[in-house]
Amino acid sequence: MALISYSDYRNLADQLADARDSMASISTYALDAVYDVVMLQDVDQEIDLLYEFWDTYVLSTESFGIPSSLLTAVRALQKHVLVRGGYDDIDDYLTDVGGTVPRSFADMSEAAGYPVTLIG
């Protein structure tokens, strides 16, 4: 089995980064909704809505941090590069191919145990 090409690697890294970024934005939208409920400035409306909207926000922050399913995919991709390419670390691979990864992917890679410093 051959080592993945950098263009395919970067495409997968971009897709995983986009997935994480989309998940992270859910919390932002949920918090914006809480703010809008507070700005209604009507006690009855706030009583009816605030608790549930706040709860939704809290649940979204707990659920959409860095889901383990994304870390599993990141870990598999990084492990493939190290094992099939014979590299000591991901930065060696990226240096060899003249590549970088998106910041969100680098953060997930770090969380998965594969630090990356070549970001771009």
Q: What proportion of the chain, given as a percentage, has pLDDT over 70?
A: 95
pLDDT (tens digit per residue) in 24-71 = 788 888 899 999 999 998 898 889 999 999 998 888 777 666 667 789
> Following DSSP, what letter does each residue of 22-35 receive, concatenated?
HHHHHHHHHHHHHH
The answer to whether residue 98 scores a pLDDT higher than 90 is: yes
Q: What is the spatial distance between Cα 110 and Cα 41, in angstroms, rounded to a whole number? A: 43
What's the number of domains the chain is made of? 1
Q: What is the spatial distance between Cα 65 and Cα 23, in angstroms, rounded to a whole number? A: 7
Collapse the DSSP code of 88 into the 3-class scheme (helix H, G, I; strand E, B; otherwise coil) and give the result. Answer: coil
Does 117 reside within a domain?
no
Q: Domain range spanning residue 62?
A: 6-111
For 108-115, what is the mean pLDDT?
95
pLDDT value, residue 1: 60
Collapse the DSSP code of 119 into the 3-class scheme (helix H, G, I; strand E, B; otherwise coil) and give the result. Answer: strand
Does 71 reside within a domain?
yes
Q: What is the spatial distance between Cα 72 and Cα 79, in angstroms, rounded to a whole number? A: 10
Does 85 reside within a domain?
yes
Does 73 reside within a domain?
yes
pTM for the model: 0.75
